Structure 1
């Protein structure tokens, strides 16, 4: 990964956004940069708060061949983030819209499954003769529905206990 200065980072990021208008993904990461390998906690060894200021590391990549990063010193953060924010806002117009049709279809299917799970299955028909197989299928479906309801309740209880 190539380390560049702040202005070059912004220029190359703008070019990366421009190159991925039609197709592609861009990953941006931010993290606090520490130089020592030891303790990275926010508290010093004696229990008092750590008053040191750390630079910020920003990385950008398209996942393939373009990878670059920059470090921003604490005194330059406001200036850098104002330029960085402007660049991100101008590039947000090129984002692809979400496929709401597919999301709607999936939510409707989930609602149908939930309704099937909660609706009782009426068991009717003769025990013998014509319609016996239909009755047996309904009994089997009712047992399967009860098992899935019990499993759902167990999952809910486990989730409540986890909180």
Structure 2
């Protein structure tokens, strides 16, 4: 991890956003730095007024070889956040909008499949004569439904076992 000054950090972040514009992921972390050797436990606000100001640490990685960070002093924080926010707004224009129509149709299809799986198939056609084929289709649908219900139960059991272990 490479520690750089604030301006270099912003310029490297801009270059990283440009390089991963078509494909890639960037992780940004932002946290408060505590003083060396001090506990990270937060004190009660009523117990003592802490007048110390803490620096902020910002880290960036793309999951590969690009890893760098910067420390921002409390006095420079507003200026830095203005530049950082403008950079993020300018760089996140390539994000895709969610396709809500496709999500809605998938949800509807899933609901139909679930309803079809839980609704019992009624065998009301005669065994012989007219309607025999209809009965055969109903029997086939019943068997298929039982099979899908069994697979669903097996998947649920596997998920329960995975969660408990």
Q: Same fold (TM over 0.5)?
A: yes
Paired residue for 2:145? 141
SS of 2:124 mapped into structure 1: coil
Runs (5+) with no aligned partner, structure 1: 153-163
Change (3 A) 1:14 1:133: closer
In the alignment, is the contact (CA less than 8 A) between 1:55 and 1:71 conserved in 2? yes
Once the two structures are overlaid, the 10-residue window that deviates more, 3-12 or 51-60, is 51-60
1:61 is displaced (CA, Å) by: 1.2
In the alignment, is the contact (CA less than 8 A) between 1:42 and 1:50 conserved in 2? no
Change (3 A) 1:59 1:20: same
Paired residue for 1:66? 66
1:20 is displaced (CA, Å) by: 1.4
Change (3 A) 1:32 1:50: farther
Rounded to whole Å, the distance in 1 between the matches of 2:37 and 2:122 is: 67
In the alignment, is the contact (CA less than 8 A) between 1:42 and 1:49 conserved in 2? no
Change (3 A) 1:119 1:43: same
The alignment's TM-score, normalised by the length of structure 1, stands at 0.68
Change (3 A) 1:4 1:135: same
In the alignment, is the contact (CA less than 8 A) between 1:120 and 1:142 conserved in 2? no
In the alignment, is the contact (CA less than 8 A) between 1:2 and 1:69 conserved in 2? yes
SS of 1:79 mapped into structure 2: helix
Rounded to whole Å, the distance in 1 between the matches of 2:37 and 2:123 is: 68
Change (3 A) 1:91 1:122: same
Change (3 A) 1:43 1:10: same
SS of 2:17 mapped into structure 1: helix
Paired residue for 2:17? 17
Rounded to whole Å, the distance in 1 between the matches of 2:20 and 2:81 is: 22
1:75 is displaced (CA, Å) by: 2.1
Runs (5+) with no aligned partner, structure 2: 157-165
Paired residue for 1:92? 92
Paired residue for 2:112? 112
1:66 is displaced (CA, Å) by: 0.8
The alignment's TM-score, normalised by the length of structure 2, stands at 0.67
Change (3 A) 1:140 1:26: closer
